[in-house]
Amino acid sequence: MSFAVPDPHRVAALIQKVADEEILPRYHNLASDEVREKGPGDLVSVADEQAEVALSRLLPELLPGSAVVGEEAVAKDATVLKRLAQSNMPVWVVDPVDGTANFVSGKGSFGTLVALVNNGRTEGAWLLEQITGRTGIAVRGSGCELNGSPMRLDGTLARRRDGGAIAAVTVSRVAPATRTVWKEGFDGWVKLRSVGSAVSVYLDLISGKVDVLVTRQLTPWDHAAGLLAHAEAGGVNAALDGRDYNPTDYFSDIIAAPDADFWQRVASVVSEEG
């Protein structure tokens, strides 16, 4: 049976509609009892939960026979994640509010991530950063667009920066020892920073604002959409051992870089980091 991604702009419009109804009205407007910890330091708000409920109802209407794996549903029942490994149905992978801590504290780096996975491959990706309005859309084999314009990474971008500097973005915190390895590995001209939102990181990557991402603990709702968008924009991303990303592989080092040569250079530094 052939598989086709639904109209990607219709999907994006649906995600934006849910954000307009369930997320943005609660920005700067959350009551104390509408935010809680689902784990140590891991926040969830009523906006996360209600947006996921809406997306879980509406997305399958665009693709009959599909299922949904949402971050909040998995937090309540880990067996939901098993749907990703099933080959008999496409699966929407949803992070309703990526960057919840930023959302709760009133920072603008948050958004919604949606990926469509079929037979273990990410086929479609949607990245919406609601405050800035940045919207990334990618379909496997059809390229990547940002706010309606095709995106194509220039592999020489990193080498054209003032002083040759690149920005290596990590989703997790960077240990002091790791900072030393990176600075030595790139002759002191690397910047390390961490932001609390994968959607913002990946939108920066596909637009060329930053050049490199190194991350571990690959929860699919955080990374499936972004890695497809990055690849469709012409970037190179893979596990440290060279394996292609698989949304069912939750624990691996992933490196994303603007071209193969830069990917290899980063991989050598990460290998030293250990």
**pLDDT tens digits for range 196-237:** 899 999 999 998 888 888 887 789 999 999 999 999 999 999
pLDDT score, position 122: 97
Whether residue 97 is found in the same domain as residue 193: no
The predicted pLDDT at position 229 comes to 98
The two most distant CA atoms of the chain are separated, in Å, by 53
Long-range contacts of 174-183 (CB under 8 A, 24+ apart): 178/273, 181/269, 181/272, 181/273, 182/269, 182/273
Per-residue CA distances from 120 to 50, 93, 169, 247 (Å) = 27, 12, 26, 7
Sequence letter at residue 90: P
Does 163 lie in the same domain as 138? Answer: no
Last residue of a domain, one of 97, 124, 150: 150
Output the tens digit of pLDDT for each of the chain's 274 residues. Answer: 478 999 999 999 999 999 999 999 999 999 999 999 988 888 999 999 999 999 999 999 999 999 999 999 999 999 999 999 888 899 999 999 999 999 999 998 999 999 999 999 999 999 999 999 999 999 999 999 999 999 998 755 555 454 555 666 665 555 666 667 766 776 666 666 677 899 999 999 998 888 888 887 789 999 999 999 999 999 999 998 899 999 988 877 889 988 898 888 888 888 876 5
CATH number of the domain to which 261 belongs: 3.40.190.80
Q: Are residues 117 and 229 in the same domain?
A: no
Query: Final residue of a domain: which of 126, 150, 174?
Result: 150
Tell me, what's the pLDDT at 167?
64
The answer to whether residues 116 and 162 belong to one domain is no
Write down which residue in 105, 131, 150 finishes a domain. 150
Same domain, 130 and 238: no
Q: Does residue 62 form part of some domain?
A: yes
